Structure 1
């Protein structure tokens, strides 16, 4: 059982009773354990290495680097765009502590910039994107190694590939918050390596057919980032993230009427924490790969000691005396931010993950977890602010919420605003109205209530492993059978029972949801399976005001509480839900869900096992093995003689080969698909029996 994670932690998980009192104690214990785990990495793997000496954040200037504004891809009129994922050097605001000269940092980014370009989209104007994985040396065409240590002891994209380094780094781009078709969602198994030499089992679009974003949702601050299985935390840390701002006629009308700041005063702020070595390179705690040893870089959580905004350390923005709209994204691995302004200044919240709130909400502080977004107005027009420098600060503990206070000199500061620019009188001042939108209509449930589990255990190396599952079924790995089989267009309530000591920002792909309530609970937690029984709700539920909180796609689920959300699942296909602490997501805190016409748990199995020939009889056929690495066999059991046609298509619908065409007698008939000359990827086998057509997906993985 547990050894490295402390006996107190073992007692918590071995007890049969899950109580809030124990949870409060364990929050404090686990905070120390996790901080010790990170400290342990530094002691063991940093100090012996002179080249790995870390850059002291206190040696760096603050509030002198201008806030970068990422370039814009204007998709407001539609179109098809190609975006390159590549490696380059960028000034992140770091200075040599001795000479004061700038230090450039090798990073990854989209179209040669970190963060990636801000994509501006318009409601109901589709966009098409090729996300090209160009992580290779252009002079040799050899794939580049990762900037950070890949942990091959966890489940990850190339885990089944011998000599995986020769293929390069897998990437896949996910539009976070997008109401996106499954084939373009950028799920964790839809990755590809440079030149498409290797592709994930869910790879469909991206090579010859672009991702499609229909943009059929209201104005919102979305973002795009890498989502490759098991290395999301590393790829995002290297720089693969950017804003995707979706606007609509109504939002533009508010700007035209000067009820929201004009576009020139509408800015995105992505906040991320990082660590650096003394020569300005990104640092991620891990042991070293020596003589073929495995590199382990998975951590309970990661917290950097540098704060970057839009890719610059502690920047400053010079502002006019007027209102500004800031779209804030927490793009960090694990760090929560409780944001507030120095000098008792306040701001006004006007939007959440999925768009505008009905009414502006004045606040003096605001919590934002990894993956969440918020839209705020800061009004610099007060004459008393003229010439002042206002600091955006953070006082969230790490880990949140039972961890240690951050350093007020470093991670307690985000960026600064200097009110020193002359007012541009050619652009009218904006004045927030009392109402921005009509009230949000509550969703009406017509589907089931799902009781889902957030738990923690240990992996095979006795490391802390966060995990998801169901209350009745217990903890489940990412690749276990799907338990959330959803009927298309059903509106379901999902209840997240958090039995861990952490707050988890839970993200659902595809949907936007409404938060209904939080409530404390107790229950009996099985120490092995993590099944939760004898649940007893305690206290009163904390109800959410939709007009103040708005639509969400990522929401913090407090420890020891059940959080209820409601969502409509209106696109078919396979998606995922997961914790957006990236270190948790990569270490198996992610599960798939499937939306289908029937919502039948066996719908997909049935569809690939038996299909109707007519009202009287059935065709039984198999296509095995699947995935296959050389040959696959098609076997049909014909009840009588039939005309047969068998074709193989690639993932883009192009004919690869005609396998058979002719008559066959009753009985078992077999054909072989020779994959020796075929490229890895997804194929579709079409079987026509008389005039009836049947299709099945086939994956070639050599």
Structure 2
């Protein structure tokens, strides 16, 4: 079975087996113990009918915040916690993993939450975090031990040593020992990986204001640990951003809201469900198999299924994160924006000018976008944010209900007349973002899809000359310290990949179609012909750390490598990252 047909098989839920969705009145009726079950070929046991989960009856939960604007040291614990993720009066709770300042070994663990608390930091005021792993001796989700993961080629087991984890500050300009290298994992028993450098990480916060996020990054198990709940926001402010807030040019306080969008599936009793079928191979040793991608049909925002947000008739600053494993979102209100929406920032900083949106917003896994939504004059209105991104993106299966709905916005709160209405400035930074240093080198790199020894799809990074390369192959990217490079990445796969580089923020230069001869075994390219280059979209012209690389195109980025050490670059589709679409690189 090829990968696209394999993915479509997982969309069988919704093809005649689903029950009609419940309306609000039914959702508020007497609680019940389980949801209606349905069968799906990706799961060994029946799962919950996504259509039976109420929509827009749960208020959007705001993550708690940790104020580290003065710098300092904090301890955050990764621990199990039980939350009402589905809500709607169902009477169901979901065991998840979260972060908190009190964990399972210190009191009740009530401060642990999914998603984790939002850090609020300030530029040039270092923050030190002691990341404590209090994860249990059994995973919430099915673990495939046939792929290259933390415990491979060791005698360690989760039952004896605990769940491996390490935290990466995504988008952070971080020294290598605090970057959350995939092989720097550790467990509750002290077992650790070959790159382990301790559990106390230092964040210098030497970059400009940005919407960063932290999440698990353990080798070969990231998809499961993030799915279980190990993620949270990290806001970095600087003097410029604070002056915009103080001068009433940006919404702030209760009008600045973080939104992490994720997709999940559940069992009828409310537990998280993740595909657990074995591989279809005569040589398969048994147990669950990693999936090419994962697409859940239950959309969570801030850890709550299909919430609503009550707003005043004023402007709001919305910090969006696509925290899903594989799902892209193409967000709009049924294809348009019936209220003014303006993009002000990419992952790692402001755009040069505010960008009014006149089309749906596409956001891939790992990407962040900052928006200002203007609800003035719309008191009493109600809007449903929708999603119509195919799976896989961009040419896969059309999105099916109920995953075509995300969040409901209700302009229902009275306007607080005491709060000044902000006026967006004409420019948000002194000049358009560029990496000014001349490139010392241009590299030609590759996105390739092969198969593993069990016949499963195996996405790889590599070079045009060598073809696809595995995680353990010798390093091929070795930029010199304080040099800039241009990376030309040729996507020979059928799908768009969100490619993330640790350490750096980069400039997207352009994209162009290409043709080439490809070795079917190695993936290496010859006789490359590149067409006319197109500049990046206006919403990509800020500082980036994750970029969409469409199929059949070469995407060019430019970055400055200004810290010495070992880092990684990878696809941020977590199922791809965990199954070898990740490579180390060394700044020498």
Write out per-residue CA displacement over residues 314-357 of structure 1, whole angstroms, 9 at most, x where no aligned residue: 00111011100000000001100011125733411001011111
How many Å separate the matches in 1 of 2:259 and 2:537? 26
Q: Does the 8 Å contact 1:168/1:194 carry over to 2?
A: yes
> What residue number does 1:104 align with?
93
Q: Which has the higher helix share?
A: 1
1:45 Cα deviation from its structure 2 partner: 6.1
Change (3 A) 1:323 1:587: same
Q: Which has the larger radius of gyration?
A: 1
1:36 aligns with 2:9: yes
| Distance (Å, rounded) in 1 between the aligned partners of 2:140 and 2:127 | 31
- Cα distance in structure 1, aligned partners of 2:143 and 2:254: 41
Q: Describe how 1:106-255 pairs up with structure 2 within 5 A.
A: 106-111=95-100, 112-136=112-136, 144-162=137-155, 164-165=157-158, 166-196=160-190, 198-206=191-199, 210-255=200-245
Partner of 1:353: 347
Residue 238 of structure 1 deviates from its aligned partner by: 0.1
SS of aligned partner of 1:254: helix
CA distance in 1, matches of 2:384, 2:421: 23
Residue in 2 that maps onto 1:91? 84
RMSD: 1.9
Retained in 2: the 8 A contact 1:514–1:546? no
Deviation of the 1:442 alpha carbon: 2.7
Deviation for aligned residue 1:162: 2.5
Contact 2:121 2:236 in 1 (8 A): yes
> Does the 8 Å CA contact 1:284/1:297 hold for their aligned counterparts?
no
The 5-angstrom pairing of residues 77-476 of structure 1 reads: 77-95=70-88, 100-111=89-100, 112-136=112-136, 144-162=137-155, 164-165=157-158, 166-196=160-190, 198-206=191-199, 210-287=200-277, 294-342=286-334, 344-364=338-358, 365-382=360-377, 385-407=378-400, 409-443=401-435, 444-476=437-469
Matches of 2:4 and 2:430, distance apart in 1:
43
- Structure 1 alignment gaps of length 5 or more: 6-29, 137-143, 597-702
Separation in 1 of the partners of 2:39 and 2:93?
Answer: 24
Match of 2:24 in 1: none
What is the distance in 1 between the residues matched to 2:333 and 2:40? 36
Higher mean C-alpha displacement, 120-129 vs 293-302: 293-302
TM-score normalised according to structure 2 size: 0.90
Deviation at 1:61, TM superposition (A): 1.5
Structure 2 counterpart SS, 1:275: strand
- Structure 1 residue 37 displacement after superposition: 6.3
Q: Offset of 1:549 from its aligned partner?
A: 2.3
Distance change >3 Å, CA 288–CA 404, structure 1 → 2: closer
What is the SS of the residue equivalent to 2:232?
A: strand
- Structure 1, residues 612-671: CA drift from partner, whole Å, max 9, x if none? xxxxxxxxxxxxxxxxxxxxxxxxxxxxxxxxxxxxxxxxxxxxxxxxxxxxxxxxxxxx
Report the secondary structure of 2:61's partner residue: coil
Q: Is 2:40–2:46's contact at 8 Å kept on the other side of the alignment?
A: no
Q: CA deviation at 1:242?
A: 0.3
Q: Tell me if structure 2 keeps the 8 A contact 1:91–1:105.
A: yes
SS in 2 for 1:102: coil
The answer to whether the 8 Å contact 1:31/1:402 transfers is no
Alpha carbons of structure 1 residues 341 and 44: separation in structure 2 relative to 1, 3 Å: closer
2:104 aligns with none
Aligned partner (choices 496, 503, 511) of residue 496 of structure 2? 503
How far residue 395 of structure 1 moved from its aligned partner, in angstroms, is 1.0
Q: Which moved more, 1:442-451 or 1:463-472?
A: 442-451
**Which ranges in structure 2 are unaligned for 5 or more consecutive residues?**
14-37, 101-111
Normalised by the length of structure 1, the TM-score is: 0.75
Q: CA deviation at 1:288?
A: 7.1
Number of residue pairs the alignment of both structures matches: 544
- DSSP-derived class of the 2:93 partner: strand
Aligned residue among 487, 505, 512 for 1:512: 505
Q: What's the secondary structure of 1:593's corresponding residue?
A: strand
The 3-state SS of whatever aligns with 1:448 is: strand
Mapped partners of 2:390, 2:340: distance in 1: 21
Separation in 2, partners of 1:84, 1:115: 13
